[in-house]
Amino acid sequence: MATIAILGTFDTKGDEHAYVDQLIRRRGHQTLRIDVGTLEPARLTPDITREAVAEAAGTDLASILARRDRGEAVTWMARGAPVVLSRLYAEGRIQGVLSLGGGGGTAICTAAMRALPLGVPKFMVSTLAGGNMAPYVGIKDITVMPSIVDVAGLNRLSRLLLAQAAGAICGMVEASVPDLHQAKPMIVASQFGNTTPCVTHARATLEAAGFEVLVFAATGTGGKTMESIIESGLVAGVLDITTTEWADELVGGVLTAGPTRCEAAARLGVPAVLTPGCLDMVNFGEPASVPQKFQGRRFYHHNPQVTLMRTTLFENAELGRILAEKCNLSKGQVAVAFPMGGISVISAPGQPFHDPEADLALRDQWRSHLRPGIPFIEYPGNINEPAFADLCTTQLLSLIHSKAA
């Protein structure tokens, strides 16, 4: 038996939350009701009141209501709900969370869900589902279900969908992974289509050495998620083959992972090997989506929806300096492996993005700005050659074993 948090605005959506609460209890689980409503009296008796949520945000409900600003009220509740929910989980009082909401409720409740660790069941029934949910979900494992009709009363359709939502969250908390206590130590790796051969070979080697390898696509969201996994403290090593998201962050592409990319392992002292995988390219959508200021640059049409732009010598020099700074933050062991024969499939000799001068600028600035003691290993061939993958895995395993010694 688990305890599932029922989180929502119990004034405008009280009847609907009471309905799923009843269904969950019938299934044999307990519920813990948290009210984040601010408009009218609650229609469902909460275990944690809206006043307590406001207090967790550092304010009091009376002062919020006195200003009669619904947007401000939503903002304060979206600050307090994550504090309350994360505290309940840390205390072992909840094992999952279910919420139903419109625009304001979705903003509040998904903010609270994002405060919970990966793997904790999170289910949001929302009127906004079907649109752009990225601002609400972020990089967390929040399951979002369209409400189809507004969350505004119980009818034959809403009862069916809400019953399915209640069943879904119950199934999620009941799910288990066999033999989790026997899990292998974890390594995370970054990959792009242009570095897939390298990562595929490296993954096989690391798995044969007794590690579980999680591969993340370097698509902005993938890099952010990988950083989040590293921050969880569950990672034994990082094989950051594909640091391409920094090219998008610097130049203005669409797959940026933000300015803290490559920092999580450094801050936590997790052994890491970094390479310049796909720093030769900046990502855009279809050709018409490329900003006018880049007219005249070198492009490669990966497919009708993806346009790649070659980074320049100047941009590569700046990328080298940035990546060196990230390495220099490391509290643990870190190494850099640099393939001199091309940093992607299409930057190899004879390929569209082959530009040895730009690659040299990247290498020179990265190497020269590294603090003493960080290995910088040059390899004569291309990033996707098996020997380069072997070099990276050998170096990473050495760093991991050195930390464990």
| pLDDT over 90 (residue 239) | yes
In this prediction, residue 180 carries a pLDDT of 47
Which residues make beta-bridge pairs with 214?
188
For the chain, give every residue range classified as CATH 3.40.50.12030: 180-404
Per-residue HEC secondary structure of 45-57 comes to: CCCECHHHHHHHC
Between the CA of residue 161 and those of 2, 157, 258, what are the distances in Å?
Answer: 22, 6, 37
Q: CATH for 180-404?
A: 3.40.50.12030
For 165-212, the pLDDT digits (tens) are 999 999 999 998 765 446 789 999 999 999 999 999 999 999 999 999
Tokens for 66, please give them: 């006195």
Q: Pick the closest to residue 128 from 153, 150, 95 (CA basis).
A: 150
DSSP E strands: which ranges in 192-263?
212-217, 235-240
389, amino acid identity: A
128, amino acid identity: L
In this prediction, residue 181 carries a pLDDT of 47
90, amino acid identity: A
Tokens for 352, please give them: 């569209």
Tokens for 321, please give them: 């300096």
For the chain, give every residue range classified as CATH 3.40.50.12020: 3-174
| 3-174: in CATH 3.40.50.12020 | yes
For 293-347, the pLDDT digits (tens) are 999 999 999 888 999 999 999 999 999 999 999 999 999 999 999 999 999 999 9
Query: Tokens 């799923």 — which residue?
Result: 20
pTM higher than 0.85, yes or no? no
Q: How confident is the model at residue 65 (pLDDT cuts 50, 70, 90)?
A: confident
In this prediction, residue 62 carries a pLDDT of 87
CA–CA gap between residue 405 and residue 403 (Å, rounded): 6
Asked whether the beta carbons of 89 and 116 are under 8 A apart, the reply is yes
CA–CA gap between residue 221 and residue 323 (Å, rounded): 19
